[in-house]
Amino acid sequence: MIPNLSLNLGSIRITPLLWSLIIATILASFSFWRQLKEDYKEEVIFKITLFALVSGLFFSRLLFVLLNLGEFGLSFRNFFTLNYLNNFYFAGGLVGVVLAIRWQVKRNKGNVWEVLDALVISFLCCLILVSVGFFLTRGNRWDLVYLGVGVAGFILYSLSQKNYRSFSWYKSGKTGFLFTFFGLIYSLVFLGLAFLKNDALYLYRFLWLFLALASVGALYYRSERDLKEDFNNLFKGRTRFHPPASESR
């Protein structure tokens, strides 16, 4: 049984989830800045971070409203009425962050894939801290599963960050591997968890499936593999083995 750790300050209710969101935003922003400070000016990193946060919140809320139109309707006022901090969908926020980063980095003529790779650690920080906040707020054991997934992500990151350029199947060794690889892994993980939780929002499952497929395409694109060559090698592998000829008597 989780004790009630929420505080009421007048009409404002301060929950562990709110604190975790604040801390996650600070740590994620610091991590993002730390990884980019050698290649980008501080004001550029600040703009990218600010636009990413605003866009992430907007698209996260937008997806929630679109998938719950029966409750919200088409009221513009309802869109900005935040009764609960969990009235957001993480997948929408992720899409919003990526779109904002792409827009801002292109404007500053930077390397989009390099910046997206720097986003992975920020994502893992947010996943862990927000999972803790949700668990302390509502005591749902599923939130501990997401916490474990986040911790496992840090282990996987440490194993792949310095070694992915030596992967034989990732021929180019270019930046973009971390973002596309983790995008694929976590899209599949969240899709699987949605099925295990028996989430009734089937459209939300399809969104995770779409993001997984998009990650596969982006990962293959960044690897600079030749599709025709890979297909030829696949079919050659299937026809390489022949049944042994019968022995002559």
Mean pLDDT of 114-143: 90
Q: Is residue 100 part of a domain?
A: yes
When pLDDT is cut at 50, 70 and 90, the band that residue 247 belongs to is very low
Looking at per-residue pLDDT, the higher value among 219 and 134 belongs to: 219
Q: Is residue 1 part of a domain?
A: no
Range of the domain at 37: 13-237
pLDDT exceeds cutoff 80 at 81: no
Q: Is residue 7 part of a domain?
A: no
Q: Which two tokens stand for residue 63?
A: 């997806």
Domains: count for the chain: 1
Q: Which two tokens stand for residue 179?
A: 């973002």
Q: Given the structure tokens 């890979």, which residue do they identify?
A: 230
The amino acid sitting at 178 is: L
Q: Given the structure tokens 């960044």, which residue do they identify?
A: 222
Three-state SS at 83: coil
Residues near 127 by Cβ (< 8 Å), separated by ≥ 6?
Answer: 146, 147, 149, 150, 153
Residues near 191 by Cβ (< 8 Å), separated by ≥ 6?
Answer: 205, 208, 209, 212
- The per-residue DSSP string of 86-124 comes to T-S-HHHHHHHHHHHHHHHHHHTT--HHHHHHHHHHHHH
Q: Is residue 158 part of a domain?
A: yes
List, for residues 207-243, the tens digit of each pLDDT value. 899 999 999 999 999 998 888 887 777 777 555 544 5
Q: Is residue 192 part of a domain?
A: yes
Mean pLDDT of 58-76: 74
Q: Is residue 5 part of a domain?
A: no
Q: Is residue 3 part of a domain?
A: no
When pLDDT is cut at 50, 70 and 90, the band that residue 12 belongs to is low
Q: What is the pLDDT of residue 229?
A: 81
Q: Is residue 247 part of a domain?
A: no
Percentage of the chain beyond pLDDT 90 is 49
